[in-house]
Amino acid sequence: MMRHGILKEIFAMAFDSLKTHKLRSFLTLLGIMIGVMTVIGMVSIIQGLNKSFLSELEAAGSDLIIIQKYEAVQMGEMSEEMRKRKDLTWEDAKAIEQGAPLVHAVAANINSNIFDEIPVKYRNISSDNTLILGSNEKFQVVYNIYLPKEGRFLTESEITHSSRAAMLGFETAETLFPHTSAVGKEIRIGPEKFTVVGVLNKRGQMFGQSRDNFAAIPITTFMKYFDYDKSSLQIGAVPKTPGTIQETIDQIRNVLRQRRKVGFGKPDDFEVFTQESMLDLYNQITGAAYLVMVVISSIGLLVGGIGVMNIMLVSAKERTHEIGIRKALGALSKDIMKQFLIESMFLTGIGGILGTLIGFAVALLVRAVTPLPAAVTPWSVFLGLFVSISVGLFFGIFPAQKAAKFDPIVALRYE
């Protein structure tokens, strides 16, 4: 009970000391606040991005295979080998479907150039920044989209005959037809007329980009009437049987290598991705973001920690006489050390709490005013508190030891 009373007294004295020097205490914990705020804010945003990305992968299905001309993310200068690669074609997609028996469905996709917007209009109403997607009738099977909001998907006959049929995303349909059904209406995509055959259900955003502002038309029609970057053609495929994804990839590679006349022993002149490889790539990118976050927050915590050490040394100097009196009355060196350590950790703990709250507020503000998602996770609260208190403990040890070693006789004579 006596030790409990002493510990309670130590906490009270530490709190009184911080309350007496409010401005000094606030300036001391400012660096801790900034460091913890940075950690919490960045973690919240990255966790939000992670959830958004994982939900998108789950929605597309775990067995999706993507074939592209280049890597998913091209870092640095493109190699000579990549520059010489042939473009993937609509015929390549059809050859995969015919020549790879393990493949269930194949979709080929090309998009309008984001820098050369193609207007989408119904009478005098326009849909801005609408993506024009050229694909085939297997798009919904490959990308796991089974129920249109109304109407139907594109058909094989419409692909074969380069029909002027269009399927609209939810947002595009709401913009062009706010009070009526879009199905059966005639719209203009660029100078060409198309008939709306269906509207997709709302799919939401990914990385701040709407997945509902698009118009899908037959890929054959797209290639006939619109300009596009031939290197951007992407092929998606899914296997007939779950668990045969690697064997399916091998068949796809064999078909494409034969068509593209890739010699034996030479590397593929195309890229094949799975959900797992895309997730690995994404983790590499977010890993770099985490590293930057650690570096930035470490600077703030280091500055805050040095500030704590400096203020605690000043505090020890100011309270030399008080320490002498306490020791003369029987206080042990370890009690003096505990007081200063508790004071230091209490100070940085408050900084951690404030930094955590501000970090969450910043993350939520970013989510509210920007397209970036943010997710507040309970473990990040404990992370903020643990880091801040650990900083207080580490940087408070030296001042605490110095105060605990004061000679009581010398301390009592100090003015």
**Structural contact between residues 217 and 133, judged by C-beta atoms closer than 8 angstroms:** yes
Q: Does residue 74 carry a pLDDT above 90?
A: no
3 state DSSP class of 138: coil
**Is residue 137 situated within a structural domain?**
yes
What integer pLDDT is reported at residue 355 of this predicted model?
Answer: 83
pLDDT averaged over every residue in the chain? 79
Same-domain check for residues 157 and 299: no
Same-domain check for residues 161 and 251: yes
Same-domain check for residues 160 and 182: yes
What integer pLDDT is reported at residue 122 of this predicted model?
Answer: 92
For 349, the token pair is 């703990």
Q: Does residue 252 carry a pLDDT above 50?
A: yes
Once rounded to an integer, what is the mean pLDDT over residues 188-208? Answer: 85
**Structural contact between residues 133 and 163, judged by C-beta atoms closer than 8 angstroms:** no
Least confident of 162-176, 217-231, 240-254, 338-352: 338-352
Q: Does residue 6 carry a pLDDT above 60?
A: no
Residue 226 DSSP class: S
What integer pLDDT is reported at residue 278 of this predicted model?
Answer: 67
Same-domain check for residues 173 and 298: no
Same-domain check for residues 206 and 320: no
Same-domain check for residues 338 and 394: yes
What integer pLDDT is reported at residue 300 of this predicted model?
Answer: 72
Give percent of the chain with pLDDT exceeding 70.
77
For 242, the token pair is 């779950």
3 state DSSP class of 190: coil
Q: Does residue 208 carry a pLDDT above 70?
A: no
d(CA 319, CA 415): 10
**346: part of which helix (H) or strand (E)?**
helix 333-369
Same-domain check for residues 240 and 110: yes
**Is residue 75 situated within a structural domain?**
no
Q: Does residue 184 carry a pLDDT above 90?
A: yes
**Is residue 187 situated within a structural domain?**
yes
What integer pLDDT is reported at residue 7 of this predicted model?
Answer: 58
Number of domains in the chain: 2
Least confident of 5-19, 87-101, 241-255, 317-331: 5-19
What integer pLDDT is reported at residue 207 of this predicted model?
Answer: 57
Task: Tell me the pTM.
Answer: 0.63
Domain residues for the domain of 399 are 2-56+281-413
At residue 2 the predicted structure's pLDDT band, cuts being 50, 70 and 90, is very low
Same-domain check for residues 106 and 252: yes
Q: Does residue 162 carry a pLDDT above 90?
A: yes
Same-domain check for residues 147 and 257: yes
Same-domain check for residues 247 and 293: no
